[in-house]
Amino acid sequence: MSKKYDVCIVGSGAGAGPVIYELSKAGFKVAVLEKGPWYRTKDLTKDEITAVRRSVYTPNLEDEPQVLEEQTEDGNWEAESTFSSGNDFWNGSCVGGSSNFMSGYFFRMKPNDFQLHSKYGEIDGANIVDWPISYEDMEPWYTKVEEVVGISGNAKAHRFKEPRSTENFPYPPLVENIISEHLDKASERLGYEMIPTPRAILSQPRERRNACYYSNYCGSYGCSSDAKGSARVALVREALLSGNCTVIPNAKVFHLETDGNKKIVKANYYDAAGTRQSIEAGTFIVAAQAVETSRLLLMSKNKEFPNGLANNQGQVGKNLLFSAGGVGGGYLYARDFDKKTFEEFMRPGVFVNRSIHHFYEYEDEKSGKRIKGGAIDFLFEHANSMTRAIKQKWDNRDHLLYGTTYKKHLSSYFKDLRKIKFEVFADWTPTDQCYIQLDPKVKDKWGDPVARIRTGYHPHDIEVGRYLAKKGEAVLKQLGAKDIAWSVSGDPPSNLQAGGCRFGTDPKNSVLDPNCKAHEVKNLYVTDGSFMPTGGSVTYTWTIYANAFRVAAHLLEVLKRGN
């Protein structure tokens, strides 16, 4: 016998957390079905074998593969299971989702991000549309995330600074390495505006959460102090205190069942033992991250929806987004700086927290046309000593090093230099060649078809990425870095995914309405990054959080009316 709730939410990450938080605190009975396990703070470790070498926080690829379709040089598409390739495309699969393991680089999208089509026009071969809401509609919810989730930083003025309803962030900036001052001066000499990077990491303690203690093991690792603003700590844990929230981990939802009147009545799932269970509710929210959200809707076929739930117009899974751009880096050698300065560069733990948004829009030199640009974030090489050491196994002629030679090489790498990096973020242009469907052959351990992900990109993204990378290279040169290299490609980063269920006003070309309710289903909402028609040129998490708070406010009105 299934138990009935007011709301059933599939997923527990950034897209689910705000809805869980708001509805539970308002007195509604909320059931959360999370496919992964429930790790508490005490379970999270800085052990590199656990977090990086063994992928403990993501599914076993033999049990839960995905299939990636990539384009070959001759223009054909080749598909391969991630179990065969070892190319793990999963993110954090646990209560709180991948927000547990984010680095917490938080920037708002800017007003022009909401109007990509009207501001910059058509791009041949692209499916660019404006958002059905504006930056002004989202601004109060960005502000709410700052307070509830907790963001530390300094809202410095610059040419593309987003309008704010508050003067500054609620928490002061995190402690920075002296390299930040050097980056400021280097960019100033070039005429570029360098700005502080806000982080979803507490610089000061608050109730039930400690401040950052500067291990600098943020990306790929869970936070041992609860300073990081994960959905698990900042939202789900608070919702549980209301007594209205029930979290069911290890619950893999495989079908959303409708009643013949375009209304979901039940979420069917496998529990930890593999037994089929179900949850009944009045309202259903799916927030399983973009790929898995589309997969679940496509699997939820019936007579009403023969092509998948909310997919009678064939839009589910289309216009998938990642983040375009690339990475670069160079080396700060001890020999090039005075002893005191280099010792400060080597200071562990503290942050760089510097970004350039100076080129968020720029003029194309050939056409004179205004181009949507992007962001450049600066950071040190990750503190992982194991992965850094493994990368040093070969010399510059690709000869394997070992024994005394390898020891000396490692000693020099860890003592005589420090790598400074930059990451480029640009819009991933939506096209017909980036989408999700169900694989006809490969199945997971429950016997369900896995997601087949086509990862086609638009050449425009490469052009913008290269433009930005050259600016990042110029800054590193001014900084005094040597041996600088960068790469920009169309390879999608799996941790930054959105789209697949874009929102809009026309059901013919969108899955969701402006409040993220499915056009075709009376009581279905999607609140992860799937709703995004375009992704902007910053990481998605803050916008996903903000939109989920916006949708939660709408849901509260709907639920209080009883419809």
Residue ranges making up the domain that contains 354: 157-197+324-427+459-491
Rounded to whole angstroms, the Cα distance separating 444 from 449 reads 6
Residue 538 lies in a domain: no
pLDDT in tens, 484-525: 999 999 999 988 999 999 999 999 999 999 999 999 999 999
Residue 380 lies in a domain: yes
Residue 40 lies in a domain: no
Rounded to whole angstroms, the Cα distance separating 22 from 150 reads 16
The first and second tokens of residue 272, run together, are 């930890």
**Close Cβ partners of 473 (under 8 Å, ≥ 6 residues apart):** 328, 484, 486
Residue 348 lies in a domain: yes
Give me the number of domains the chain comprises.
1
Rounded to whole angstroms, the Cα distance separating 356 from 426 reads 12
H or E element in which residue 255 lies: strand 252-258
pLDDT in tens, 290-312: 999 999 999 999 999 999 999 99
The first and second tokens of residue 162, run together, are 């987003």
pLDDT in tens, 399-446: 999 999 999 999 999 999 999 999 999 999 999 999 999 999 999 999
Q: Between the CA of residue 280 and those of 29, 30, 256, 293, what are the distances in Å?
A: 12, 11, 10, 19
Residue 484 lies in a domain: yes
**Cα dihedral 163, 169, 174, 178 in deg (nearest 10):** 40
Rounded to whole angstroms, the Cα distance separating 527 from 288 reads 9
SS3 466: helix
Residue 511 lies in a domain: no
pLDDT at res. 261: 94
* DSSP line for 145-167: HIIIII-B------TTPPP-SSS
Rounded to whole angstroms, the Cα distance separating 441 from 450 reads 9
Residue 393 lies in a domain: yes
pLDDT in tens, 67-90: 999 998 888 999 999 999 988 999
Per-10-residue mean pLDDT, the chain, length 563 = 85 98 98 97 89 84 95 91 92 94 96 97 96 98 98 97 97 98 98 98 96 93 95 98 98 97 97 97 98 98 97 98 96 97 96 98 90 97 91 89 93 96 97 97 97 96 97 98 96 93 97 98 98 96 98 97 77
Residue 464 lies in a domain: yes
